[in-house]
Amino acid sequence: MTRENEDQMVNKGGISSPSAEEGSGGGNVGGSGPLKKGPWTSAEDAILVEYVTKHGEGNWNAVQKHSGLARCGKSCRLRWANHLRPDLKKGAFTADEERRIIELHAKMGNKWARMAAELPGRTDNEIKNYWNTRIKRRQRAGLPIYPPDICLQALHENRQSEHISAFSSGNPQHPDLLPINSFEIPAVEFKNLEFNHQMYPPPLIDIPARNLLDIPASNLLAPGVNSSYASKGMLSTVPATKRPRQLEPLFSGLSSSFNTSFTSCNKYQNDGSQQTVQSFGFSSAYDQNPTSDHPSSSFVLPGSHALLNGNPSSSEPTWAMKLELPSLQTQMGSWGSPSSPLPSLESVDTLIQSPPNEQTHSGSLSPRNSGLLDAVLYESQSMKNIKNSPGQQISSASMVQGEVMDNSSPDHHETEWEVYGDPISPLGHSAASVFSKYTPISGSSSDEPPTFETTPGSKVKQEGGDLVPVEYGGKDETSNSNQMIFSRPDFLLASNCFGPQIDHSKGPLHAERCSWGTSW
DNA sequence: AAATTATACAACCGCGACGAC
DNA sequence: AGTCGTCGCGGTTGTATAATT
């Protein structure tokens, strides 16, 4: 402890104030050993740096012996790796880095060290912390973890690897390949995929929609179906015991990087929707004929699975767990292992939370039931329909609902859609109706932000700057339901895009609320 | 302005994997 | 084959700071 005293003195006026802690003795643990714990002092840092400079990295346990540093080798290694390395990049993650992290995580899952290797100057711990905090934030907001473009990219890569790798669905683990072979697409992601198109900025990495769509359904489903990796981390599920009480936003920190590219979403929607749909090579319940050039036929669809799940049976109970982080790899094995094909389609469906679609497709035929990618297809198609069928411009939201609810003016919607993500979309209504039916409002729990009224009878919950309709009294819009409760995370997500639309009469407010900008 | 709460970050812990001896 | 050292990872804790009440 002379060392500590020394440190304290040296650390005087230093950075963090570990000295204080040391002084209290809190930093010292370990009982018998003189080894110190807790925050490092600048003096300790200096010693460690000097030692490493002289002897090089490695053999960390020798540090204590040779340098007198009262730290265990493990701690020394961690300190060096995370803070003292000369090549470390300090400061917040740049937009590019954020973007990269997302991409890497989509491919690797919680392989922080590997991710760090891809990000010069960044440490695994840093990335992990970043991810976890952002994920939590995003989860809370009910936002998807990965932006669509990332998904697409991952899928594309996945597809490529698919050709290369011999093992497929039933195949056991190939740790190295896993990340690639399976694309981590959290349920939430698909759940909100529809939103993603509007919410997420255009892909920095422009991936031809076609590539994405060409991916076999198996690949898409891989996360839960055939990839051990997926089983580990791709699907965001968590053991019930570990399930977060509230869903958190996943992308909050990415705003900067993604904000810049928003139009791309439209790109996919507008330009590639048809192609996209067609090119989706995988066969799904929804489309048995992937090569079909008439997606439209199959696209009366109910809209994207993404947001809402009209299916009470699947959505409600599993809802919470669906929105989990990939990091929860452990549970994946339970339903994503190769031996056990999927969390089961049902599970997937649940994840997707496809809405009941009696009108257009029978539940069995719905792509939503087939798998994650299907959802993408659906969405894409739906988008196309919206564009191509003025007379039938049904907001994706409405489609999602599987119920006819859209009353808002199509034109207007379309316009705003591009800007805000279909502000006027009735989605909110449908969503609300669905939620009101299957979602316990109480679920919002204590974490729920205060609510305020935007319109008579309607309440909006503010979440991360976005308004989330909590209750809708059915004022203006054509709501079929007079009472809507959007406490569910998926709706929250939706709210980011559509929530504001609930009361589009409030233009300014709407625009403001809809901004994804900083919230990401 | 003070108190409370939420967030971001640093650091630690336990465990398992891997390679060297 | 067993031991040791190192590394990586998931999870957790503690603290400083920011935001909110």
Task: Look up the protein residue whose alpha carbon has the minimum distance to the C1' of C13.
Answer: A38
Looking at every residue in chain A, the average pLDDT score rounds to 45
Low-confidence ranges of chain A (pLDDT < 50): 1-32, 164-520
Q: Which residue is nearest to nucleotide B5 (CA to C1')?
A: A447
The predicted pLDDT at position A62 comes to 79
Separation between the CA of A190 and the C1’ of C11 (whole angstroms): 27
CA of A236 to C1' of C8 (A): 21
In this complex, the residue with its CA at the shortest distance from the C1' of nucleotide C21 is: A450
Q: Using a 7 Å cut-off to protein CB atoms, list the covered nucleotides of chain C.
A: 5-12, 14-16, 21
Output the six-digit token pair for A276.
Answer: 């996209």
A387 touches strand B (CB under 7 A): no
Query: A156: Cβ–Cβ under 8 A, 6 or more apart, which residues?
Result: A207, A211, A212, A215
Residue nearest to nucleotide C20 (CA to C1'): A449
Identify which of A129, A124, A284, A247 has the alpha carbon closest to the alpha carbon of residue A494.
Answer: A247
Question: CA–C1' span, A218 to C4, in Å?
Answer: 44
Q: Gap from A57 CA to C14 C1', in Å? A: 28
Residue A158: the pLDDT is 59
- Supply the pLDDT for residue A296: 33
Nucleotides of B under 7 A from a protein CB: 6-13
A140 beta carbon to strand B: under 7 Å: yes
Identify protein residues whose C-beta is within 7 angstroms of any atom in strand C.
A 16-17, 20-21, 26, 57-62, 73-74, 77, 81, 109-114, 116, 124-125, 128-129, 132, 233, 242, 327-330, 449-450
Helices (H) and strands (E) in chain A, counts: 29, 3
b/e map of A270-304 (b: 16 or more CB within 10 Å)? bebbbbbbbbbbbbbbbbeebeeeebbebbbbbbb
pLDDT at position A486, please?
Answer: 33
* CB of A40 within 7 Å of some strand B atom: yes
Whether the predicted model's global pTM rises above the 0.75 cut:
no
Q: Does A446 contact strand B, using a CB cutoff of 7 Å?
A: yes
- Distance in angstroms: CA A258, C1' B10: 28
Q: Give the per-residue pLDDT at A120.
A: 81
Q: Indicate the burial class of A318 (C-beta count within 10 angstroms; 0-12, 13-18, 19 or more).
A: buried
Q: Determine contact, residues A490/A438, Cβ cutoff 8 Å.
A: no
High-pLDDT (> 70) share of chain A, % = 21
CA A177 to C1' B8, in angstroms, rounded, equals 33
